[in-house]
Amino acid sequence: MSEVTLAAVGDGGEAVNGYRLTLRRVARNRPAVACGCIFLIVVALCLAAPLFASHLAHTGPNDEHLTGTIGSGSHQRYIVSLTGIPIGPTWHSHFFLGADPNGRDVFVRLLYGGRASLAVGFIAAAITVVLASVVGVCAGYFRGWVDAVLARLLDLMWAYPVVLLAIAIGTVLAVGGISLGPVKVSGGSLLLPALIIGVVHIPYLAKPIRGQVFSIREREYIDAARLLGTGPLRIIYADVLPNLASTLVVFAPLILANSILLEAALSFLGVGVQAPNPSWGNMIGAGVALISRAPHEVLVPSAALVACVVSINGFGEGLREAADPHGRLELRAK
Amino acid sequence: MIAFAFRRMFGSALVLAAVSVLTFLIFEAIPNGDPALRMAGQNATPDTIAAIRRAWGFDHPIWRQYLTMMRKIFDGSVISYSDQANVVQQIRRGLPATISLAIGAMVLLALISVTVGTISAARAGRVTDRILTVGSLVGFSTPPYVVGALILYIFGYSLHILPTAGYVGITAHPWAWFTHLLLPWIALAIPVSGASARILRASLLENIHEDFVRTAKAKGLSRTRVMIRHVLRTSLIPLVSLWGLDFAALLGGGAILIETIFNLHGVGQYAAGSVQALDVPPILVITMYGAFAVVVFSALVDILYAVLDPRIRLTTG
Amino acid sequence: MSKASRRFVIAVGVIGVSLCLAASAWAAARAEGSDASPRAAAAAGGTATLLVGAFQSLDPQVGFLTTNSEAEYVVYTPLLTFAHKSGVAGTDLIPGLASALPKVTNHGLTYTLTLRKGLKYADGSAAKASDFTHVVERALKLNWGGDSFLTADIVGAADFQAGKADRVAGISANDKTGKITIRLIQGDSAFSNILAFTGLGLVPGSTPMTDQGANPPAGIGAYKIVNVVPGQGFDIVKNTTFPKLHLPGIPTGHLSQIKVSVVTNSLTAGEQVLNNQADSFDPSGVIQPALIDSIKSQAADRFRAEPSPAVQYLFFNTSIPPFNNKAARVAVTYAFDRGAVQRLESGFLQPGCYILPVSFPGHPAKPCPYGKPTAAPNIAKAKAMIQAAHLDGTPVTAYAQAADPYQEIGAYYVSVLNQLGFKASLKLLAASIYYPTTANPQLGIQTGYASYRADYSNPTTFYHLLDARTITSTFSVNRDQLNDAHLQSVLLKLQPQPLSAAVTKQWSDLDVYSAQQAFWFVIGYTKSPEFFSNRIDIKKAIFSQRYLADLSSWQLKK
């Protein structure tokens, strides 16, 4: 459903301000900067996961303590009760935010899960940006049959129900992984969900880029360059791309946020990051069954996911405002 | 104009065909996904498996299997691999829940986003606006299934004021229909209304600078009344097109996660179950049906938009 | 475009969209209306609701899920049936539509039965002996889940299924006398049990050779199935012709109607029974932990945990490393803590080390060869064994189903393997492809979780999973790919022999041998939960070892 936002911002006229000006403006927008900082803190915490695991919690994300106990003397209790209910937050270094039904430390898994979710999100967003730019620029610059073919391809991807496509490919690939010639990716690798999510979001970015390249191409200096005999690659590199930069800057956070959300949705269904490896999505999915007895299983990863996405979107809103302060971005479905 | 409509319809048909081929191929690529093995069950022998393969035509070449499947889809006789139920009938049974879900969610979405967006724009820059902005931001950053799980816990399991699962037909018991759908509607509406409210706010603030608005203000109307009477209509146009797409996605079984969490047995839940069972016929039919809904609605919306806004002529179509 | 025509187009657009919405709402209402919702017959017997996770086609010769058999047990009576009693007594065979248990002659190769006279189906038509032949042929043609039992045992069954013959040569039925004769390919002491499978429940000879799941055929039983909505539910209502037949040992039922509905979320289903909104539920695997505490505190008097002959185990592929080395298998036996799985299954596991469950014929009395099943694990010793065998560092992939609690059990198993020094990873497969995939020898699957529920009260039901004769190049229920000389010779000797005390002792010796060789790591035996609302009299409810809930025993509390 967050695809709505992507679709809404798309296909607008080009941003008013160039990317450098945009970035300078957003630096003066305090709430946006605050959001950006929160996001960086989240990323830093997740990167520091191994430190926390080895020095404070003394347990890894997949280390199980199913039959173990915690505490001593009269306060000793099972980490997972005999009927399968895990303990809640202890607010100490061991099991800071409680345990999961397999006796694993929730906070450690939260941090490692964040690494997985963020890694998939970033890789997917990178894939989307690169591929969408290539497709959008080719379609917009070369036009003719190149554009016809690419535009139909984008239509096809646009029409396909996004979540179903991702689930379908994810299920198939999770079963066996893929091997393209010499490249073999196992079913459990993080590259698979990243690839799927990255590809699925391409039309949302390729269409606005295509539209923008159409109008850039009409400009006089492009015509002049072509008349002078400059090759298309040079023109694209020197003239087209810099004008696209501000659009990309505005879109990047949105794509990142949507990628993280889609990864969580796929993992929730079991076709993203594969068990036993944690991701915020599969932690939420596992927690739903226990929601009445051990609500922290759902609340903790949900809070982390929402905080992360809110901070990205907050910064993104600031960027959009800085790029186009008078709100002249047109809103159209396609 | 007519030519445009025809071009769109032809393009849409092509897209649908491509969608069906793509889906079929994806599931052909499943390693160890031989449907004959699955149907044969836990005690199968090689003979049983061979017999199933022959009976269902799995030993034919792929293109032939695809064409047979398409034929069966269009004459409504396609049956699923896992329980041999007629797929089209199953989808029809899931439609009441999915349609009720979609319509209710859209109504709620429209109400919330128009209210929030208008107030936000009318009080732009002030405290109310800031609070609503943050609220919208958090709203559209929260996935629907998280909202769903949380409100299910609070209102269903903790406070016991709303039912926790199931769908009741509106003709059978209208009040139960409403209470069973209320939580799913809220879960679906909140994330999208967050986004829509933001878009509406931006659109309102942009249009408020237009000349005809200045005239109205000069006539002495208050800012809020100006906003509602004159600007809202124009600002809603782009949103309506988005909502059209959203509605199409919901109709096409897009609310997979919500339907599953609340056990509504709609088209989305059927799709999720079929994907997890790697049951190709329902997946194929639902995907095509979903793509069809999106294609039809986006074409309708584009046509409507082109009619309403003469600036958009379809050169880049 | 002029203002007026713009307004016109907008108006048309709005009307068009409203019409679309109205049309879809109307279609929705129509679709609902076309599902005939039965008027709940609050007759003298009463109505109950049962929630299940799923069901397959209700055509008895097609579906093979436990949910299906549970319903079919009281709807389609075969020639023989299982006694309607709780506990081990419920595994005894009694005559169903046959007048007596079969006469076995010709060294166990010929079975003779006679159909009772005057039998009538629920639709009033008369039953005849050739209906049995028809039922077997349907089961073969429709690929019934248990058809391999038929093709393995009955002469001519395999040929019929392959299309090489137009009838099953080994069955002859005389409609005038009611005599039915079945010839077997090999001696199988368990064959009588197969005659009691609901899949061989009699249906009229006119029933077509296609799946009738949407409108199940008439049967002879206390109830009949109506109002089937695939994937959503069906109703079981009293069969009024049955009580007149006076079949001994087969109850005529108390409730007048049982509504079966699908609720895939077993937590939701359990909560509904807890709140008395539904009368019972079949948890697909176990009751969720979240529910157990509530049940124990609020509803302990309407809850029971029943032992059942279902074994949960880890299989070891004995044809490839590392589990071709006995030391590796024994190491897992020492390192795996069954208490962990008990927790993951909310306590619904009875730990055990032997393949044959407690109370099952052949369960050994001897203590477990590697220590008590409830003893704490000895990781250090197990690790030492692995190192001594130079197996540390071997990559191992463990398989499990991608559903709760199996994926958690898989995750635990992988953590144990890693503690032992292996480089272990977990592979989860969707439930629908799990069993066929793990049965494929070509994939080189080393180990994984599995469970098996006894089909009848004879050790062959479990030991055919270790029988080398079932191994083929593409599909082998013997996931161990086991070909153990001693086991094969004992199996071949014991299989055709009926269960006397001497034979049972030999089975238990074989079971001890299997435990010593650690062919499987047996985790334990499933305890099936029985949970009712406060309307149902739990004391009168029978739990069948074979078919779970005996629906004909359900009655409302007075």
* Residue C399 Cα to chain centre, angstroms: 21
Average confidence (pLDDT) over B133-142: 90
Query: Per-residue confidence at A334, pLDDT binned at 50, 70, 90?
Result: very low
The pLDDT value recorded for residue B182 is: 92
Subunit contact C433:B33, Cβ cutoff 8 A: yes
Range scoring the smallest mean pLDDT among A44-48, A145-149, B202-206, C29-33:
C29-33
Return mean pLDDT, chain C. Answer: 87
Subunit contact A84:C347, Cβ cutoff 8 A: yes
> Within 13 Å, how many C-alpha atoms sit on residue A144's CB side?
3
* pLDDT tens digits for range A258-274: 999 999 988 887 778 88
Name the CA dihedral angle for C452, C455, C459, C464, rounded to a multiple of 10 degrees: -60
* pLDDT tens digits for range C527-541: 888 899 999 999 999
B9 to chain A, any CB pair closer than 8 A? The answer is no
Range scoring the smallest mean pLDDT among B120-124, C218-222, C352-356, C415-419:
B120-124
Range scoring the smallest mean pLDDT among B239-243, C96-100, C149-153, C336-340:
B239-243
**Closest to C521 (Cα-Cα) out of C429, C389, C412:** C412
Question: How many cross-chain Cβ pairs, A to C, lie less than 8 Å apart?
Answer: 90
Q: Which residues of C touch B96 (CB under 8 A)?
A: 28-29, 31-32
The pLDDT value recorded for residue C36 is: 35
Subunit contact A156:B142, Cβ cutoff 8 A: no
A38 to chain B, any CB pair closer than 8 A? The answer is no
Range scoring the smallest mean pLDDT among B60-74, C71-85, C241-255:
B60-74
Average confidence (pLDDT) over B137-158: 87
A176 to chain C, any CB pair closer than 8 A? The answer is no
Q: Which residues of A touch C415 (CB under 8 A)?
A: 62-64, 276
Q: A81 to chain C: nearest residue by CA?
A: C343
* pLDDT tens digits for range C445-477: 999 999 998 888 889 989 989 999 888 877 788
CB-based contacts of C429: which residues, under 8 Å, 6+ apart? A175, C399, C400, C401, C402, C437, C438
Query: Per-residue confidence at C41, pLDDT binned at 50, 70, 90?
Result: very low
The pLDDT value recorded for residue B33 is: 60
* pLDDT tens digits for range B82-96: 766 788 888 888 888
The pLDDT value recorded for residue C43 is: 43
Subunit contact A275:C411, Cβ cutoff 8 A: yes
The pLDDT value recorded for residue A104 is: 92
Subunit contact B275:A5, Cβ cutoff 8 A: no
d(CA B179, CA B168): 9
The pLDDT value recorded for residue C519 is: 96
Q: What angle do CA C200, C204, C208 make, to 5 degrees?
A: 90
The pLDDT value recorded for residue A259 is: 93
Strand, helix or coil at A240? helix
Reported in sequence order, the residue ranges of C458-555 that DSSP labels E, i.e. its strands, are: 520-531, 543-544, 548-549
Subunit contact B42:C37, Cβ cutoff 8 A: no
- Higher pLDDT pick, C526 / A190: C526
The pLDDT value recorded for residue A44 is: 94
Strand, helix or coil at C532? strand
State the nearest Cα–Cα gap between B133 and chain C, in angstroms: 30
Q: Tell me which chains share at least 3 CB pairs under 8 Å with chain C.
A: A, B
* pLDDT tens digits for range C469-496: 888 877 788 999 999 999 999 999 998 8
Q: Do residues C110 and C101 make contact, with C-beta atoms less than 8 angstroms apart?
A: no
Query: Per-residue confidence at B315, pLDDT binned at 50, 70, 90?
Result: very low
Q: Do residues C246 and B117 make contact, with C-beta atoms less than 8 angstroms apart?
A: no
The pLDDT value recorded for residue C393 is: 93
Beta bridge partners of C252: none
Beta bridge partners of C172: C181
Residues within 8 A of A (CB atoms), C 393-422 only: 402, 404, 407-408, 410-412, 414-415
Helix (H) or strand (E) holding C541: none
C350 to chain A, any CB pair closer than 8 A? The answer is no
How far is CA A182 from each of CA A158, A169, A193, B102, C444, rounded to the nearest angstrom? 31, 21, 20, 46, 22
DSSP string, C414-481: HHHHHHHT-EEEEEEE-HHHHHHHHT-GGG---EEEEEEE-SSSSTHHHHGGG-GGG--SS--S-TT-
B138 to chain A, any CB pair closer than 8 A? The answer is yes
Does the predicted model carry a pTM greater than 0.90?
A: no
Q: Do residues C274 and C409 make contact, with C-beta atoms less than 8 angstroms apart?
A: no
Structure tokens at A64: 């199980």
Q: What is the ipTM of this complex?
A: 0.80
Average confidence (pLDDT) over C58-77: 88
Return mean pLDDT, chain B. Answer: 79
* pLDDT tens digits for range C385-421: 999 999 999 999 999 988 778 989 999 999 999 999 9
Side chain identity at B100, as an amino acid letter?
S
B315 to chain C, any CB pair closer than 8 A? The answer is no
B300 to chain A, any CB pair closer than 8 A? The answer is no
Average confidence (pLDDT) over C195-199: 92
Q: Do residues A137 and A209 make contact, with C-beta atoms less than 8 angstroms apart?
A: yes
Instruction: Report whether pLDDT(A328) > 50.
Output: no
State the nearest Cα–Cα gap between A269 and chain B, in angstroms: 8
* pLDDT tens digits for range B176-187: 888 889 999 999
Q: Which 8-state DSSP code applies to residue B57?
A: T
CB-based contacts of C312: which residues, under 8 Å, 6+ apart? C341, C349, C449, C450, C451, C522, C523, C524, C525, C526
Residues within 8 A of C (CB atoms), B 87-106 only: 89-90, 92-93, 95-96, 99-100, 103
Domain covering A3-66+77-323, topology: MetI-like fold (1.10.3720)
Query: Per-residue confidence at C38, pLDDT binned at 50, 70, 90?
Result: very low
> Within 13 Å, how many C-alpha atoms sit on residue C299's CB side?
25
d(CA C62, CA C56): 8
Q: Which residues of A touch B188 (CB under 8 A)?
A: 1
- Give the position of tokens 């129900």: A161
Reported in sequence order, the residue ranges of chain B that DSSP labels E, i.e. its strands, are: none
Please confirm whether the linkage preceding C321 is cis (ω < 30° from 0): no
DSSP string, C383-397: HHHHHHTT-TT-EEE
Instruction: Report whether pLDDT(A173) > 80.
Output: no
The alpha helices in chain A, defined as continuous H runs, are 3-9, 19-27, 30-47, 49-51, 106-142, 144-159, 162-176, 191-200, 202-217, 220-227, 232-235, 241-269, 280-288, 296-323
- Domains, chain B, with CATH or none: 2-75 (no CATH), 91-308 (1.10.3720.10)
* pLDDT tens digits for range B101-115: 999 999 999 999 999
Q: Do residues C255 and C74 make contact, with C-beta atoms less than 8 angstroms apart?
A: no
* pLDDT tens digits for range B260-302: 888 888 888 888 878 777 777 888 888 888 888 877 787 777 7
* pLDDT tens digits for range A208-255: 888 888 877 777 777 777 777 777 777 777 777 777 887 788 888 989
* pLDDT tens digits for range A8-59: 554 444 455 667 777 788 788 888 899 999 999 999 999 999 988 888 888 8
Closest in C343, C411, C429 to A276, CB measured: C411
Q: Do residues B254 and B260 make contact, with C-beta atoms less than 8 angstroms apart?
A: no
Residues within 8 A of B (CB atoms), C 250-269 only: 262-265, 268
**Closest to C204 (Cα-Cα) out of C241, C254, C234:** C241
**Closest to C482 (Cα-Cα) out of C326, C256, C277:** C326
The pLDDT value recorded for residue A261 is: 92
Range scoring the smallest mean pLDDT among A97-106, B195-204, C203-212:
B195-204
Name the CA dihedral angle for A31, A35, A37, A38, rounded to a multiple of 10 degrees: 130
DSSP string, A149-174: HHHHHHHHHHHS-HHHHHHHHHHHHH
d(CA B271, CA B277): 10
d(CA A305, CA A117): 9
What percentage of chain B has pLDDT greater than the value 70?
82
